[in-house]
Amino acid sequence: MAIKVTTPLSREDARKLKSGDSVLLSGVIYTARDAAHKRLCELVAEGKELPLDVKDAVIYFVGPTPAKPGQAIGSAGPTTAYRMDAYSPTLIREGLTGMIGKGKRGPEVIEAMKECGCVYFGAIGGAGALLSSCVKKAEIIAYEDLGAEAIRRLEITGIVDEPWHFRYVGTEVSLDMKDSGLCLEEYLGAESATFEKAKALLLEDKYTAHEIMIRCGMKDLPTFYHGFAKRYGSTPTKYKQENLKKNKQEKSLYICIINNYNLLFLHCLHHLHNMDYYSHI
């Protein structure tokens, strides 16, 4: 059973979490990678105020891609956490209680976590698009000059409604679908096969896009169109029209070549017949 946690994350709540717990996180978190961490630690060393309050805060190690229209944020997969190892102990001692990333942490970070009451959440690498769907609002609050590595304030929610859960086996973690039990890699492979089947059916010119969607086991037409366009660069309808037109042109060219060949063959026969005629004169 996953544990629901809402930020801010107090030290007391952080200490309640155990290694291997599945956590559904919601509330406000912040993004920062090594360049931003370096600047924050320099401010701490100089005794200056930070651009965000790290007390009871959670920082996600991520540099998201640009958001597409209608999205709060682009793909937001985790950064390898060891890049922040030189800076994390300083921020933990300033009050940071949560970090999100991928990969192992160094002994200095682990010691600071034990000492101060901080937790490190493991995110799934390669699932950036899925993770970004949980972000409902994003705004840059510091270091805009760093681009993707600027510090952002994220509002995350709705994770409970996602059809996925984290599964731990020893020290390994995978992302599984709740309904089918497929892991992420298996799901993506099955999804790819589904769209390949749809592409083949479109070229048969027997079914509408809606009929093909149903035959491929999908239920939502906009999702089908979006997924197809993302893989093949055009909607199912446009893909069908373009390829049927291309096949028709290739077929016409083939017929034209055959007809020209027949004409040439007949001309050669006629020429040979004349040669045979003149040879008997």
Residue 45: the pLDDT is 96
Mean pLDDT, to the nearest integer, of 248-264? 52
Q: With 50 as the cut, is the pLDDT of residue 139 above it?
A: yes
pLDDT tens digit sequence for 47-74: 999 999 999 999 999 999 888 877 888 8
Q: What is the mean pLDDT of the chain?
A: 79
pLDDT at position 2 is 76
Q: Which amino acid is at 210?
A: H
* pLDDT band, very low/low/confident/very high, at 161 (cuts 50, 70, 90): very low
The pLDDT-based confidence of 160 (bands split at 50, 70, 90) is very low
Written as one letter, the residue type at 166 is F
| Packed helices 236-279 and 221-232: angle between N→C axes, nearest 10 degrees | 50
Taking only the tens place, the pLDDT of each residue in 78-89 is: 899 999 999 999
At residue 254, does pLDDT exceed 50?
Answer: no
Higher per-residue pLDDT: 171 or 94: 94
Question: How much of the chain exceeds pLDDT 90, in percent?
Answer: 39
What's the CA gap between 281 and 277, in Å, rounded?
7
- Rounded Cα distance, 100 and 168, in Å: 16
Q: Which of 37, 267, 270, 271 is catalytic?
A: 37
What would the mean pLDDT of 193-213 be, rounded to a whole number?
A: 83
Asked whether 244 and 204 are in contact (CB, 8 A), the reply is: no
| Segment 241-246 mean pLDDT | 74
What is the pairing mode between strands 164-169 and 98-101? unpaired
**What's the Rg (C-alpha) of the chain?**
30
* Amino acid 260: pLDDT: 52
Q: What does the pLDDT read at residue 183?
A: 53
Q: Which amino acid, 277?
A: Y
pLDDT at 149: 94
Q: Does residue 174 carry a pLDDT above 90? A: no
DSSP-derived pairing of the beta strands 3-6 and 23-31: parallel
Does this model's pTM top 0.75? My answer is: no
37 classed as catalytic = yes
Give the residue, 195 or 36, on which the prediction is more confident.
36
Q: What is the mean pLDDT of residues 220-243?
A: 81
Among the residue ranges 7-11, 25-29, 267-271, the one predicted with the least confidence is 267-271
Q: Distance between CA atoms of 234 and 231, rounded to whole angstroms? A: 8
CA dist., res. 233 & res. 216, Å (int) = 19
